[in-house]
């Protein structure tokens, strides 16, 4: 899996948080990892997802 870029991540991120509830970074990262079907071998991509959440 190639690492998703910022624009690719934004729509699924916004859809996930649009329910109005508070979400932890871990929860969002896991939801996005599921959305992009990342596996354990894609750990660097998960790290990127976490980094994107900080900006």
Tens-digit pLDDT profile for the chain (55 aa)? 666 777 888 899 999 999 999 998 888 888 888 898 877 777 666 676 666 666 5
Domain residue limits at 47 = 6-16+25-53
Q: 10 in a domain, yes or no? A: yes
CA 8 to chain centre: 10
Q: 37 in a domain, yes or no? A: yes
Q: 1 in a domain, yes or no? A: no
Query: How many CA atoms, within 13 angstroms, populate the side-chain half-sphere of residue 38?
Result: 22
Burial of 38 (0-12, 13-18, 19+ CB in 10 A): buried
Q: 42 in a domain, yes or no? A: yes
Q: What pTM was computed for the model?
A: 0.70
Q: How many domains does the chain have?
A: 1
Query: How many CA atoms, within 13 angstroms, populate the side-chain half-sphere of residue 9?
Result: 22
């Amino acid at each position: 899996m190639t690492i998703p870029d910022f624009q690719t991540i934004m729509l699924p991120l916004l859809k996930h948080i649009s329910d109005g509830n508070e979400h932890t970074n871990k929860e969002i990262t896991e939801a996005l990892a599921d959305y992009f079907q990342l596996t354990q071998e894609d750990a660097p991509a998960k790290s990127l997802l976490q980094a994107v959440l900080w900006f």
